[in-house]
């Protein structure tokens, strides 16, 4: 099983920021957490608003918590809002159920961690996250 390192987390953030620049996105905040839900690295671009670190971590945590990307959580927030409300209750409000949280797996399918990005539209946040995951050769799961 591959482990998430600080160097990998920094590469994920750099690649996500490069994708944001390529796409002309608003300022992003990127959180990278390990398989246990612990923050490995977080970075905010200049101009990123004050709650962005919490939102990015909530997206990443949500992905690790349910074992898939937060696009799945978003779909369930629409179809089963009581489930997402209960999930957020048991997690003490730690989950942000919108796209932009991408689960990272190794080549064997083992969870390595997740990246959560916020600052632009959810689809653009997710695109930047996918670029970050690809930069370190992990498999991305958007949900």
1: in domain? no
Structure tokens at 89: 């209750």
Residue 120: pLDDT above 90?
yes
- CATH value at residue 76: 3.30.450.150
Number of C-beta neighbours around residue 35 at 10 A: 18
Q: What is the per-residue pLDDT across 3-60, written as a single tens digit (0 to 9) for each?
A: 999 999 999 999 999 999 999 999 999 999 999 999 999 999 999 999 999 999 999 9
- First-to-final CA distance of the chain: 21
Residue 74 lies in a domain: yes
- Does the residue 86 lie in any domain? yes
Burial readout 82-114 (b: 16 or more C-beta within 10 A, e: otherwise): eebeebbeeeeeebbbbbbbbbbbeeeeebbbb
Q: How many domains does the chain have?
A: 1
Q: How far apart are CA 132 and CA 114, in angstroms?
A: 10
pLDDT tens by residue, 50-105? 999 999 999 999 999 999 999 999 999 999 999 999 999 999 999 999 999 999 99
Containing domain of residue 36, as a range? 6-141
132-99-37-103 Cα dihedral, nearest 10 degrees: -50
Helix (H, G, I), strand (E, B) or coil at 25: coil
Q: For the whole prediction, is pTM greater than 0.85?
A: yes
Element of type H or E holding 135: helix 122-135
In a domain, 63, yes or no: yes
């Amino acid at each position: 099983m591959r482990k998430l390192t600080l160097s990998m987390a920094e590469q994920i953030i750099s690649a996500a920021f490069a994708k944001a620049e390529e796409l002309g996105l608003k300022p992003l905040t990127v959180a990278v957490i390990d398989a246990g839900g612990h923050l490995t690295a977080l970075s905010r671009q200049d101009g990123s608003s004050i709650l962005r670190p919490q939102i990015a971590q909530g997206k990443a945590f949500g992905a690790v918590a349910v074992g898939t990307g937060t696009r799945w959580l978003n779909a369930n927030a629409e179809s089963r809002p009581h489930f997402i409300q209960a999930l957020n209750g048991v997690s003490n409000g730690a989950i942000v159920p919108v796209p932009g949280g991408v689960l990272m797996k190794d080549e064997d399918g083992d969870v390595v961690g997740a990246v959560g990005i916020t600052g632009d539209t959810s689809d653009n946040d997710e695109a930047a996250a996918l670029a970050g995951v690809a930069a370190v050769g992990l498999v991305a799961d958007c949900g």
